[in-house]
């Protein structure tokens, strides 16, 4: 028995067959895959984004209620490690840059063997002295480092995606006659930046000398033409992913592997390309474009091909499926279920990001539970591995840690309990929302239905308890840690107007009369009394409240882009700041516009 897992990052379900009737790209290899596998129609992500999702791929349980982005913990089960201990050789070939950062450093070592390919998303790979100020934090060096890296991936053969598939297929070719192995080929693409090889870009008419392949994590401020160019950049990279998928399918055909080899093709989450007026992921609510993800399975025991599976399933089910396939017992702490035809099914799917909405779906309704108040507190992390994406927990953070009691899944170990920063992931501004996917699949109009909300709130509470969520999460969300959810706990009705207000897409930057002022550092805008009065009138929090997580040079437009103020507030500020400037110009006699 053998298994191949081909994992993409940020693969959009709404763009790949068979999940859409008219895909924006031809994608013949995805169509071929759909004809050879079961496609899951109601497959959801869980813990997000990248490394929390990969932690689920190992542990088979959610982690976002207890901590944010981080490594595997000492008490975590790991499906690749368990397989190895049961005689199954596991191999990872990946160009996923986050594996060699502080917050991802314990994942690859659970595999029997592994191979990394460098160069994605500003990976600190090739060193050019003076390319950027190395004193800046890594996120501020990423784009210049990425420019350096691209010089070393100028051809399709040297592109990290190609080299990763090469490495995976080398393992496959070497071991095609062997038994008892699991190969995970994990591609960073089509994650941003959408750096596709030139033949895929030229096929979509993209300018070889101009690129729009790295959208910011914020609301859309660009015009429609720019949005279309970014989508075309994504689609060009998706075309390249389709080609890579075909290489894997070709290898399975060539070695006649379909009789004894499981194939899983999956992703961690999606990516917004202008939907809901947003780019990317993470700062906004986790809409279905981000969490309702494509998943394909070929199981040679069942031989289901060209079929659709309607069950509610999640990322946590993948490790259970692999263990079941190899006849290995699933650990008690693993909550995922095998994706065999006769297996039990979930009554609800829990998903979210640490500090954001906590969400649940029953397959029809999606309930997004926001923080009860703007403080987004209490918010705590529970860990024995105090690192985040690219950094260790700070000395100040760790100075106030306290020992927590053991959770049901920590194997009797007590963890550190540390206050967690909230930053821009505060869900309160977006409000608690309930969506009916049967009548509103695009999730544009949150419904008010007390009975349905009550049922979904109880489902959410039940799933949080099954995951042994800390008491602080129930407090933060205004939900009962014990007992039943009641009408007093409902929020969707009260939050509806706030939710609709902040969900409205922003005006395009080019349409703003005072865009020069709106893009100034906020402190510079507030330094002039008339402008300060305008800001205080429409956005008093920007004047009177310390904006947690606000960079020193952040502007009003930056804040609007992160949903710190609504579209209507931005329009009011634009109009009155422009009027104040015109009055000042008339008063000083310059007549400047």
CA atoms within 13 A on the CB side of 45: 33
What is d(CA 178, CA 180) in angstroms, rounded to the nearest whole number? 7
Burial track 523-537 (b if 16+ CB lie within 10 A, e otherwise): eebbeeeebeebbee
Kind of pairing between the strands at 433-436 and 365-369: antiparallel
Q: For residue 80, what are the β-bridge partners? A: none
- Rounded to a whole number, what is the distance in angstroms from the first to the last CA of the chain? 74
Q: Please tell me whether residue 76 adopts helix, strand or coil conformation.
A: coil
Contact 226, 212 (CB under 8 A): yes
Extract the tokens encoding 183.
């190969």
CA–CA dist 498, 430 (Å, integer): 7
Cis, bond preceding 368 (omega within 30 deg of 0): no
Calculate Rg over the CA atoms of the chain.
24
Cβ neighbours for 26, distance < 8 A, ≥ 6 positions apart: none
Whether 532 and 305 have beta carbons less than 8 Å apart is answered as no
In the prediction, which pLDDT does 242 show?
98
> What CATH number has the domain spanning 2-340?
3.40.720.10
Closest CA to 294 of 580, 588, 560, 19: 19
Instruction: Give the separation between CA 92 and CA 7, rounded to whole angstroms.
Output: 11
Return the half-sphere exposure (C-beta side, CA atoms, 13 A cut-off) of residue 215: 26
- pLDDT tens by residue, the chain, 593 residues: 999 999 999 999 999 999 998 777 789 999 999 999 999 999 999 999 999 999 999 999 999 999 999 999 999 999 999 999 999 999 999 999 999 999 999 999 999 999 999 999 999 999 999 999 999 988 889 999 999 999 999 999 999 999 999 999 999 999 999 999 999 999 999 999 999 999 999 999 999 888 889 999 999 999 999 999 999 999 999 999 999 999 999 999 999 999 999 999 999 999 999 999 999 999 999 999 999 999 999 999 999 999 999 999 999 999 999 999 999 999 999 999 999 999 999 999 999 999 999 999 999 999 999 999 999 999 999 999 999 999 999 999 999 999 999 999 999 999 999 999 887 778 999 999 999 999 999 999 999 999 999 999 999 999 999 999 999 999 999 999 999 999 999 999 999 999 999 999 999 999 999 999 999 999 999 999 999 999 999 999 999 766 545 666 899 999 999 999 999 999 999 999 999 999 988 877 655 55
What does the block give as tokens for 496? Answer: 């509806």
CB 423 within 8 A of CB 350: no
Interstrand relation of 89-94 and 181-186 (parallel, antiparallel or unpaired)? parallel
Q: What pLDDT does 545 receive?
A: 64
What number of other Cβ atoms are within 10 A of residue 411's Cβ?
13
For residue 403, count other CB atoms closer than 10 A to its CB. Answer: 9
Cis peptide before 18 (omega within 30 of 0): yes
| pLDDT reported for residue 547 | 52
Fold (CATH) for 358-379+420-503: Arylsulfatase, C-terminal domain (3.30.1120)
Within 10 A of 449 (CB to CB), how many other CB atoms are there? 16
Name which of 461, 484, 511 is nearest 223 in CA terms. 511
What would the two tokens of residue 346 be?
Answer: 């979930």
């Amino acid at each position: 028995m053998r298994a191949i897992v081909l994992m993409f990052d940020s693969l959009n379900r709404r763009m790949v067959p068979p999940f859409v009737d008219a895909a924006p790209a031809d994608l013949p290899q995805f169509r071929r895959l759909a004809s050879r596998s079961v496609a899951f129609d109601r497959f959801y992500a869980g813990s997000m984004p990248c490394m929390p999702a990969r932690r689920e791929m190992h542990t088979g349980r959610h982690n976002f209620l207890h901590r944010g982005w981080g490594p595997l913990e000492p008490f975590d089960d790991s499906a690749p490690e368990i397989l190895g201990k049961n005689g199954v050789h596991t191999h990872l070939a990946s160009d996923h840059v986050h594996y060699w950062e502080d917050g991802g450093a314990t994942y690859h070592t659970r595999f029997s063997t592994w191979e990394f390919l460098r160069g994605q998303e500003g990976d600190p790979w090739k060193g050019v002295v003076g390319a950027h100020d190395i004193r800046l934090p890594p996120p501020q060096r990423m784009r210049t480092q990425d420019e350096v890296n691209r010089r070393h991936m100028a051809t399709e053969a040297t592109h990290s995606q190609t080299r990763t598939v090469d490495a995976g297929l080398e393992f496959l070719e070497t071991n095609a006659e062997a038994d008892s192995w699991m190969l995970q080929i994990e591609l960073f693409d089509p994650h941003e930046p959408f750096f596709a090889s030139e033949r895929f870009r030229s096929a979509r008419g993209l300018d070889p000398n101009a690129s729009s392949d790295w959208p910011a994590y914020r609301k859309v401020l660009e015009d429609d033409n720019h949005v279309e160019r970014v989508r075309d950049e994504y689609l060009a990279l998706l075309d390249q992913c389709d080609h890579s998928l075909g290489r894997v399918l070709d290898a399975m055909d060539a070695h006649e592997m379909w009789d004894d080899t499981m194939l899983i093709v999956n992703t961690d989450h999606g990516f917004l390309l202008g939907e809901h007026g947003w780019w990317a992921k993470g700062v906004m609510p986790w809409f279905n474009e981000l969490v309702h993800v494509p998943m394909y399975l070929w199981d040679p025991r069942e031989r289901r091909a060209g079929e659709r599976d309607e069950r509610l399933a999640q990322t946590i089910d993948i490790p259970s499926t692999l263990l079941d396939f190899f006849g290995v017992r699933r650990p008690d702490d693993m909550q995922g279920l095998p994706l065999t035809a006769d297996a039990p099914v979930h009554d609800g799917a829990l998903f979210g990001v640490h500090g954001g909405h906590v969400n649940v779906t029953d397959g029809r309704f999606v309930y997004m539970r926001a923080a009860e108040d703007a403080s987004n507190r209490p918010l705590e992390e529970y860990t024995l591995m105090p690192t985040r994406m690219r950094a260790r927990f700070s000395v100040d953070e760790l100075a106030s840690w306290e020992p927590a009691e053991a959770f049901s899944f920590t194997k009797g170990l007590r963890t550190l309990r540390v206050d967690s920063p909230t930053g821009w992931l505060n869900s309160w501004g977006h409000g608690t929302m309930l969506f009916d996917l049967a009548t509103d699949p695009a999730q544009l109009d949150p419904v008010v239905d007390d009975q349905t909300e009550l049922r979904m709130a109880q489902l959410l509470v039940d799933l949080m308890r099954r995951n042994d969520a800390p008491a602080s999460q129930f407090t933060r969300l205004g939900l009962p840690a014990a007992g039943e959810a009641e009408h007093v706990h409902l929020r969707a009705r009260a939050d509806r107007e706030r939710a609709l207000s902040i969900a409205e897409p922003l005006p395009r930057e080019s349409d703003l009369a005072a865009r020069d002022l709106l893009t100034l550092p906020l402190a510079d805008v507030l330094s002039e009394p008339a402008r300060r009065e305008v800001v205080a009138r429409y956005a008093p929090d920007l004047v009177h409240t310390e904006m947690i997580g606000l960079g020193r040079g952040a502007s009003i437009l930056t804040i609007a882009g992160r949903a710190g103020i609504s579209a209507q507030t931005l329009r009011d500020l634009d109009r009155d700041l422009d009027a104040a400037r015109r009055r000042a110009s008339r008063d000083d006699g310059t007549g400047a516009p």
